[in-house]
Amino acid sequence: MNDSDRASGLVVVHARDQINTTLAGHDGREYTSPAHHRSDALTLVALLLGRSAQPDGDDQEQDAWSCPLAGGQRTITLDPVPGPRAPATLDG
């Protein structure tokens, strides 16, 4: 992500399960979340991974993860939402 992409501070989570068609009867699923603040998106990433979404090694802002699952692999990425919008709040 570059600085102009971070302007809104919002990201979407993309998850893709690639699964062996012979085993599962389908080739996987995809999910794209609504826009979230990065901290909330990382909570969703951790849930989808089944483990912490903390960066590996020296990379302090990791934007892609993968993990094995039965018959395949799950890939998760964060993509910036351009623009100055903020997410809606309940109080206005």
pTM above 0.75, yes or no: no
pLDDT tens column, 4-42: 444 468 999 999 999 888 877 777 899 999 999 999 999
Write the DSSP string, 14-82. Answer: EEEEEE-HHHHSS-EEEEEPPPEEHHHHHHHHHHHHTS--PPPTT-SS--EEEEEETTEEEEEEEEEE-
Task: Answer with the residue of higher pLDDT: 87 or 5.
Answer: 87
Q: Which residues partner with 24 through β-bridges?
A: none
d(CA 34, CA 22): 32
CA–CA distance, 62 with 42 (Å, rounded to integer)? 10
Q: How many CB atoms lie within 10 A of CB 27?
A: 11
